[in-house]
Amino acid sequence: MQRAFTLFSLKKRILAVLLVISFIFCSLVVRLFVLQVINGKQLQARATDQWTRDLSIVAPRGTIYDRTGSALAVSYTTYNVYVRAREVKEKSNTAVHLSQILELDFESVYAKLSKNTSEVLIKMQVEGEEAEEIYKLKLPGVYLAENSNRYYTYGNLLTQVLGFISIDNVGQTGIEAYYNDLLKGKDGYSYVQSDLQGKEIGGSLRYYVAGQAGKDLTLTIDSKMQLIVEQALEKIMIEQKAKAVTGMILNAKTGEILSLSSKPSFDLNDVPRDDLEKLFADSKIKPATDIYEPGSTFKILTVAAALEEGLTTLEDRFYCPGFRVIDGIRIKCWRTIGHGSQTLTEAFANSCNCCFMDLALRLGVDKFYSYMSKFGLGQKTGIDATGEASGILMAKKLVKNVDLARMGFGHAIALTPLQLLSAVSAITNGGTFNSPHLLLGGSTISKARKVENIISYNTSQTVNGLLEFAENKTGKYTFVEGYNVGGKTGTAQKYKETGGIDTGKYISSFVGTYPANDPEYIVFVMVDEPSNGAYYGSIVAAPYGKEIFTNLFDYLGEQKQDESIIIEYVDMPDVVGKSLTECAIIMKELGLDYELDGEGEFIERQLPPVGTSLAKGSTILLITN
């Protein structure tokens, strides 16, 4: 029997159909919402990527200036050469032209042209002349994209400070690396429309998005002062046959680094990338990254702490027989025959180890370590440079009297040159610590540390007087004729990586202050492994510190504090074969100071040689048998 359709059943069917249609429509709406709203930008980017080809336009890095406004590092336009292989009509001919102009291997270029890819890089950082030659050939499928390269105005000046960039414009060392985010800028792009095979569509739209140049930076460095320091360092490398040398000029009032250099170095416009280990060793800002045992320059810190604690005075007397016995261990003074009885002022000028062992023991471990912390030892200075070291301090609970005594004269402790100079600048600057930095002003010096009242103003002035007396042995203003310069030299042995003293290897150093009564400039010279016969800081480092000061005064137009000072000169006598007693008498009569090497009674060798003209007050080396 045939089933009859009722009005009710028909309505149910219509309703079911409407529900299905509504569901499909809602699904389409939801799908469209997902595609156009939620995933719209992503899908649009993918579509754009499929029907366009883009070339990156590298933004020029910001210019780096010195404090006088002289450009130190500037960017200039270069080009990257790309090939879209599917558009190349004559691969062999194109490969010949590109390989000849770009000085590349033909087979390598041809292989790239034969790849089934939409785009391949042939060479980066192509200079303008070569790029123009390629452009004039109008080779199908060959494209040029703007890039940026770096030019360093002074070549091998400021090698470590400025640093260098990689081939893709990323800072790798120095300021280029530390402030890379500020210097790098924002890259632009060039777009062209293409078909499914990646070929450019003729007559299609082209898009160009310009890059944004990086931020310009101004450094604390003075390029003229830098040149003065680097010329002195070059002389040291030759005359003292040193393994390496470092020099700095620091503004004690502000912490601004006016000059910083290490040798050996290299030309930043021709970076030697064939030996990466040596490259990065020569690129380090060594005053911040390398630690060393400072020797006698550290005595500035010890005497400042002892004076501040009231544990000594300028008239305090110390007796030096040439050694001290502490914890049953005999520790020598550098002058093995001893200095005899001397005041603190004389002991500081004589750099007597025995005096500074006594001062360290008077301070005791707790107070000594408290002052070392105030002076910034065992912690980073906050300089705006990568890889800064913290130095090495023995764990306080392990320190014995014999260790403390050695620390008093700059042994058994390791620090960076920057830590030493920061501490010296605070001590000589009325007790105010200023974090050393390379960027001039600005809020980017986020790690700057400033601590007031490390020591009192009176202690600071007393130390300044000691430094002045130490470097002007023949009278006031005689270290640099007519100028009020203070200073201290240091000599320290080197240690093997496996431990133990590395026999015959030394680090010689000099720290100088000007004006001595209220220092603004601190000059530092460090000579690593001098091998020309002498190694004492007074002979190897101080003369070059004097040369830096002399040239610095000429540059600054500084007036002499005393125009009447006239330095007398004497000829180096022949003292080989004479006894130490005879030599001491001769040197005193000539107004010459001397350092002793060895514990014999008679002189076997002397430096400098007989007949050398020497200014009175100069230090010579006597080597005993």
Give me the active site residues, please. 296
Q: Are 402 and 323 in contact (CB under 8 A)?
A: no
Q: Can you give 174-187 as a three-state secondary structure string?
A: HHHHHCHHHHCCEC
Do 294 and 352 contact (CB within 8 A), yes or no? Answer: no
The answer to whether 570 touches 614, Cβ cutoff 8 Å, is: yes
Q: How far apart are CA 206 and CA 208, in angstroms?
A: 7
> For 378, left (φ over 0), alpha (ψ -120 to 50), or beta?
left
Contact yes or no for 166/283 (Cβ under 8 A): no
Asked if residue 147 lies in contact with residue 138, where contact means CB atoms within 8 angstroms, the answer is no
* DSSP sequence for 293-354: --GGGGHHHHHHHHHHTTS--TT-EEEESSEEEETTEEEE-SSTT--EEEEHHHHHHHT-HH
User: Rounded to an integer, what distance in angstroms lies between the CA atom of residue 443 and that of residue 451?
Assistant: 18
First to last CA, the chain: 139
Token readout for 487 is: 């200073």
What are residue 161's phi and psi, to 5 degrees?
Answer: -65, -50
Say whether the peptide bond before residue 608 is cis (omega within 30 degrees of 0).
Answer: yes
Q: Are 490 and 295 in contact (CB under 8 A)?
A: yes
Q: At which residue do the structure tokens 């366009």 appear?
A: 52
> Using CA atoms, how far apart are residues 464 and 456, in angstroms rounded to an integer?
12
SS (H, E, C) 498-514: CCCEEEEEEEEEEEEEE
